[in-house]
Structure formats: C-alpha cells, structure tokens
Amino acid sequence: MLEKSEQARSPMPRRQSKVTQMFESDAIENLSQETRSFAPSQSFSLDANAQPELYGRAKADPLAFWADQAKQLHWFEPFTTTLDWSNAPFARWFADGKLNVAYNCLDRHVQAGNGSRVALYFEGEPGDEQVYTYEALTVAVKKTTNALLALGVGQGDRVALYMPQIPEAIISMLAVARIGAIHSVVFGGFSADALASRIQDAHAKLVITADGGYRKGKATPLKPAVDEALKGDNCPSVEKVLVVQRTGGDIDWTENRDLWWHDAMSAASDEHEARGFDAENPLFILYTSGTTGKPKGILHTSGGYLTQAAYTHRNVFDLKPESDVYWCTADVGWITGHSYVAYGPLANGATQVIYEGTPDAPHPGRWWEIIQKYGVTQLYTAPTAIRSFMKLGRAIPDQFDLSSLRLLGSVGEPINPEAWMWYREVIGGNRCPIVDTWWQTETGAIMISPLPGVTHTKPGSAQVPMPGVSAEVVDDNGQPVPNNHGGYLTITTPWPSMLRGIWGDPERFVDTYWSRFEGQYFAGDGAKKDADGDIWLLGRVDDVMNVSGHRLSTTEIESALVSHHWVAEAAVVGAKDEITGQAVVAFVILRQDELGDAPEDAEISQALRAHVAKEIGPIAKPQQILVVSDLPKTRSGKIMRRLLRDVAEDRPIGDATTLADSSVMGAIGAKLAGGATD
Ligand code: PRX
C-alpha cells in the first residue's frame, strides 16, 4: 500500500470521471479555499440600477421579463410575440417587431434632447483626440450610410471591417446596421490569409479598412493585408474597398476598387431616415475559433441581441448616462468590442472613451493617465491586462488620480483571486465593486455576473446567472451537480442575444452546441459550484485555448503548422501562463526529407512561428515549439493533448495507460530539457 502523500504524487492511473480528467490541475480543489467575500457598500446599493427584486421578477416570468427589457428600445413596429422556440435550437425573439439598431443607438438620444451629450471621447495612441457628441455621431453615421448605399450596399449584404480602434470603426458598424446589412469585423491582428478566408466565407461585398493605425508607438499598416487578401481573384465577391486615412503612410492603390473614406463622405448627404427591419434581421457575423481548423462565423440578429446588450450594460455596469464616463478597453474586432463598446453603451446613451493603442505606449501609465484625464467611472478590461500591470507594480497607477472610478469589470478568462484583489485594492481603492462577467461570442452578451450593489462578491467567481438567464453546472450525463462539485457549464433556456447559428453551416451549430446535452446549450467551459452555489469558471474543456483573453483553436494552429513543408505532424496545447492565462505550446514532428542541412531547433522554431503569424496572425504564434520524434496517441490515433499539457506545464504525467506506445511520453519529457524557446 502507498502512503497517502505518496499516492498524491504517484503517476499511477486513478479512476476519474471525465470531468475531473479535464482538470488534471488542482483548480477545482483550490477554489474551495477562497473565503473572502465583499458586501456592496450601502451608498452604491441604494442608488444602483439593479435592485434585488430584479431576480424575483425574472424568475416569476422570464419571457415577460425579457419583453419588458426589449420595450426599453425603440420599435418602429412593436412585437407581439416574445420567443418562438418551435424550431429549437433556432430561436426567434420578438420576431414580429421591427426596429433599427442604429436608430436606437443614435437618433432616439438626439430626439430625447441628448444630442449634445458626448458619445465618444477618442484618444489616439499618439495623443490626438476627437470628441463626438450624439448629434455629431448621428450625422457621421447618416453620411456613412449614404456613402454605403451609393456603393450598392443593401439589406443583407455583408461588409467586412478590418480597422484600428478609431471612431470610423464604430461609425461603419452603425452605418451597416442602419441599412440592415451585416458586418463582419475582422480583428486587425489577423493576417491577410485569415482575413481572406473570412471574406470568402461571408461573400463580403465591401471591405472597410484604414491605411493603418498606431500601436506600440508606431504606425502599423493595415491596407497591405487587405491588398494581399484580395489579390488576383482571391475574393471575387469584393467590389470596393473603402479606406480611412489614419496614419498617412504610403499605400498601394487599386483604381476602380479603392476609395478614400474622406472622398466618399464629402460626396454624401447627412440626411438619412432610418427604417425598421425585422427583429431577426441579421446584424453581424463574428468569426471565432472552434475545435476544428475552420473558424466559425457566429451569427447574431438585431432585436434580441440589442435588448440583452443594453440590459446587461445598464445593470452590470450600473450605467448612469448623465454622469458616467465608461471605458471598455476591448477592440471592436472581438465580441466585447461589439456588445460593450459599440451596441450596449450607445443603446444606453452612454459617454465612453475609446483608445487606439497599447497600454504601455508611450509609457506604462497610459491607461491610468486616460482614466485621470477623462474622469472614467467604469473600467471594463481583461485579467491578462490586470496581471501585466500587477507585475509592473503599483507605483505606476499610484502616480495617477483614479478616484473617479466607481466600478471595475473583468472579462474574457478566469480571473485569479490575487489579480482580483489587486484590481480591487490598487485600481479600485477598495471602494469599487468588481463584476467578473462570463459570456462568449456565441452568447452575445453577459450571462453570469454579480450585480453591483446586490451581490456579495468573492474574488475569482463570476457568481450567478443574470436575472433572466438560466445556467447550470452538469455532470457527464447532463445532470446538475450538487454544490461543491465541478462539471460542464450549460445554459438551460434560450436567451435573447443567443447566436442564431453558424454562417452557412446549420449542422455545425446543432452539433457543436446542442448535441452534447439534450436540450441544453453546451458552452465548452468547465465550472464549479461552491458551497453557496456560486459559479467559478475553470477554463475550456475542449480544444480551444484562451491566450490573453483571445480565443484560439489548437486545431487551427496545428493546421497552420502542418501547412509548412518542414512539418509532418503537430500537436498544440495551451499551457498555463502567469500573464496571458494560457500560452501556445506546439509539439512538432519534422519531415527529415524536407529539412535540408539540419537547421538548429531555434531556427526551426523561428521559421514556424513566423509561418503561424502569416497563416493566422501574430496572436497565434506559439510561445514555445518543441521538436519531437513522436506524439502520444491512443490506439485509435487520437492525440492525447492532456498528456502534452502535463509536459508543457511541468507536472507529473497523468494516466497514460491508453497510449498506443507507452514509451513516447518518456522521450518527450527527456527532449523538453533541451527545448527551443524564444
Ligand atoms: O472560456 C470562457 C472565457 O472566454 C470564452 C469565450 O471567448 P470569446 O468568445 O472570445 O469571448 C470572450 C469575451 C466574452 C468562454 O468560453 N471567458 C469569458 N469570460 C470569462 C471567461 N472565463 C472565465 N471567466 C470569465 N469572466
């Protein structure tokens, strides 16, 4: 018999449920030890938008509750049905109503007498500023709408946006929405190849881009990637490219295809009357990584999406449009930028800051300087940013006046209790409630979060489903787990901002999200319920990684690696990383016949990282590439990534009994000591 302590260290196989196998680390157990809890201050609670009765109202009649939320929007034609779930899982919300998303974000605020309220404070990385009132933003969007109409964009057409974080990005999204067309924003950090595949999948008619943007203290070109993506007859659907002049850098120009934004605007009228579109009219496609090599075009529609984006923004961030200056640091290329930079805040008539650049340009206190300058009241950002600030030390934020802040938000990945506490103490001065918000590209809006002023928050927990949302943690059989147990996160009833499908692939939609557990939406995340039933997110349970809050697919990076002529086979895992949450670690088997005069591992690593950056984008570059001679596989040929994660995270290797060749892991472990990193 082994002693207890020895058992814990033993690599001997243990009997485990699938759920616990997913979390080889001690994450589940560690979370149970968190006992700190913070009650909202009385002054915050008294004046909070969300009061405890919200939970009761939603529970008593969820559909009536959502209908009430939807009625806070402007409808050209009111809806009479709330939810049609007869063709589940394809939902229709408020389907017989008609609204215009852009009108809701703009005109109605002007008509209510708030045209002179600031909508956007734009801060460029070089320090340039622009201020848009609701009135000015409405005019800009009307002009852009007319310019797009003149280019032949109509209802249902797809428009791809590949832009820096500048006002024109938001203006373009709203103008597309105003026409009833569909935008597909592609993050500026993706490569030309990634942009091309997204344009092709959506058959985009128009691309809106900029010559470049400012990042890390320099002008970074964007237009060359568009030229590369469209070259030859690569994207035949694209008729025109509209180009904002942001940096003034030299760019190539294709006559009859490229058009300057400022020329198009000077020719456009600033009169445009919005009309209503069906609530289920598609609003946007946003590509996100799944478990296969092909990104999924997540489809969102209008009425339900805007309802939940606005409702959550108002209640989770306690938005007071007359006095707050809200700042969400997400790029519009991600879902957070869609729901909590563009649509939620503007639907609520918020005043917000948008910032073009990186947090450390030109100095590491730039964010805190921006908060001081604009008197930011709510900050919404990602744990990876908080952890990197934490590493730099409190002396930097301490130099700035952050006393305007009254609420802090976190999104994109689990926030570890230390980072949560640092955020609360150093940035929030121990007075700001923290809302850790769980949601996904697919859910469209926040699903699990504390309500500030109501919830007693625990560092690291996303806590409870929003009023109106039903989430569960279930076991392998789809049954709810008791408190103090872990399992898979599911959503058990439809919600207004749910994805309506995957662009062009209804089967994949059903397979990915609705087949794992009968009648429940499978989010792909592991979670635990603590003794109070509060929810703690534990990370993905599928082959999706989360690097700096960005979603990356292991399979997609593997395909990129294998497309290099040196690589015979590749396996990618996300290994724990102190700052970025996870880091991409790749194991590759090389083709000896292709290698030529035996390059060094470091040279191979450099070439393959550059190749991944070209295929997908710099965000997907592996942090570490290990050249191995074999990969751990089951007898049926499936790569056992769990074992590779053990190696990458430097832990004892878990249950390896199902390996076809049990010596493989020993050889990989030995190789790791001399692995190439840069
Ligand atoms: O794993 C969860 C993680 O991010 C995934 C969704 O990624 P994406 O669609 O890119 O959207 C990110 C921004 C909403 C989820 O499946 N995630 C997101 N928020 C949290 C989180 N994990 C833990 N805690 C969160 N607050």
Q: Ligand 1 centroid vs 488 CA: distance in angstroms?
A: 14
Strand partners, 122: 130, 354
Ligand 1 atom at minimum distance from 537 CA: 23
* Closest to 585 (Cα-Cα) out of 667, 674, 672: 672
Cis status of the peptide bond prior to 496, with omega within 30 of 0: no
Helices 62-70 & 303-316, crossing angle to 10 degrees?
A: 90
Strands 118-123 and 129-133: antiparallel
> Does residue 382 carry a pLDDT above 70?
yes
Same fold across 42-100+281-540 and 132-275: yes
Strands 98-99 and 501-502: unpaired
Among protein residues, the one with the nearest Cα to ligand 1's atom 12 is 412
Question: How far apart are the two ends of the chain, measured CA to CA in Å?
Answer: 44
> Does residue 3 carry a pLDDT above 90?
no
> Does residue 517 carry a pLDDT above 50?
yes
Q: Ligand 1 centroid vs 412 CA: distance in angstroms?
A: 4
Percent of the chain with pLDDT over 90: 84
**Residue 48: per-residue pLDDT:** 98
Q: Ligand 1 centroid vs 389 CA: distance in angstroms?
A: 20
**Residue 290: per-residue pLDDT:** 81
Burial of 321 from C-beta contacts in 10 A (0-12 / 13-18 / 19+): middle
Among protein residues, the one with the nearest Cα to ligand 1's atom 13 is 412
Among protein residues, the one with the nearest Cα to ligand 1's atom 26 is 438
- Give the span between the Cα atoms of 82 and 85, in whole angstroms: 10
**Residue 95: per-residue pLDDT:** 98
Q: Ligand 1 centroid vs 441 CA: distance in angstroms?
A: 8
Q: Ligand 1 centroid vs 267 CA: distance in angstroms?
A: 42
**Residue 487: per-residue pLDDT:** 97
CATH annotation of 564-673: 3.30.300.30
Q: Which of 380, 546, 556 most suits a substitution to test ligand 1, by most atoms within 8 Å of the C-beta?
A: 546
pLDDT digit string (tens) for 308-352?
999 999 999 999 999 999 999 999 999 999 999 999 999 999 999
Q: Ligand 1 centroid vs 439 CA: distance in angstroms?
A: 5
Fold for 42-100+281-540, please state it.
Answer: Rossmann fold (3.40.50)
Break the chain into its structural domains and give their ranges.
Answer: 42-100+281-540, 132-275, 564-673
Strand partners, 380: 328, 409
pLDDT digit string (tens) for 520-534?
999 999 999 999 999
Q: Which of 299, 313, 381, 440 most suits a substitution to test ligand 1, by most atoms within 8 Å of the C-beta?
A: 440
* Closest to 230 (Cα-Cα) out of 256, 259, 260, 193: 193
What average pLDDT does this structure show over 597-626? 92
The CATH number for 132-275, chosen from 3.40.50.300, 3.40.50.980, 3.10.580.10, 3.30.2310.20, is 3.40.50.980
User: Which of residues 8 and 632 earns the better pLDDT score?
Assistant: 632
> Does residue 461 carry a pLDDT above 70?
yes
Task: Please report the DSSP string for 304-358 in residue order.
Answer: HHHHHHHHHHHHHTT--TTT--EEE---TTSHHHIIIIIIHHHHTT--EEEE-S-
> Does residue 397 carry a pLDDT above 60?
yes
What 3-state class would DSSP assign to 536? strand
Cis status of the peptide bond prior to 224, with omega within 30 of 0: no
Which DSSP helix (H) or strand (E) runs through 431? none
Residues with CB under 6 A from ligand 1: 288, 335-336, 411-414, 436-441, 462, 523-525, 537, 540, 546, 551
Give me the amino acid identity at 293.
G
Percent of the chain with pLDDT over 70: 94
- Give the span between the Cα atoms of 44 and 308, in whole angstroms: 23
Q: Dihedrals φ, ψ of 616, to 5°?
A: -115, -50
Alpha helices of 95-133 — where are they, by DSSP H? 101-105, 107-109
Residue 598 binned pLDDT confidence (cut-offs 50, 70, 90): confident
Among protein residues, the one with the nearest Cα to ligand 1's atom 8 is 440
What average pLDDT does this structure show over 47-57? 98
**Residue 520: per-residue pLDDT:** 98
Among protein residues, the one with the nearest Cα to ligand 1's atom 22 is 413
**Residue 13: per-residue pLDDT:** 37
Fill in the DSSP letter of residue 592: G
Burial of 663 from C-beta contacts in 10 A (0-12 / 13-18 / 19+): exposed
- Tokens encoding 203: 């058959």
Q: Ligand 1 centroid vs 440 CA: distance in angstroms?
A: 5
Among protein residues, the one with the nearest Cα to ligand 1's atom 10 is 551
Q: Ligand 1 centroid vs 18 CA: distance in angstroms?
A: 22
- What is the reported pTM? 0.92
- Tokens encoding 22: 């997913």
Q: Ligand 1 centroid vs 438 CA: distance in angstroms?
A: 6
Q: What's the number of CA atoms in the CB half-sphere (13 Å) around residue 99?
A: 32
Q: Which of 300, 331, 384, 413 most suits a substitution to test ligand 1, by most atoms within 8 Å of the C-beta?
A: 413
Q: What is the 3-state secondary structure (H, E, C) of 3-36?
A: CHHHHHHCCCCCCCCHHHHHCCCCHHHHHCCCCC
Query: Interior CA angle at 378 toward 377 and 381, to 5°?
Result: 145
* Average pLDDT along the chain: 93
Q: Ligand 1 centroid vs 543 CA: distance in angstroms?
A: 14
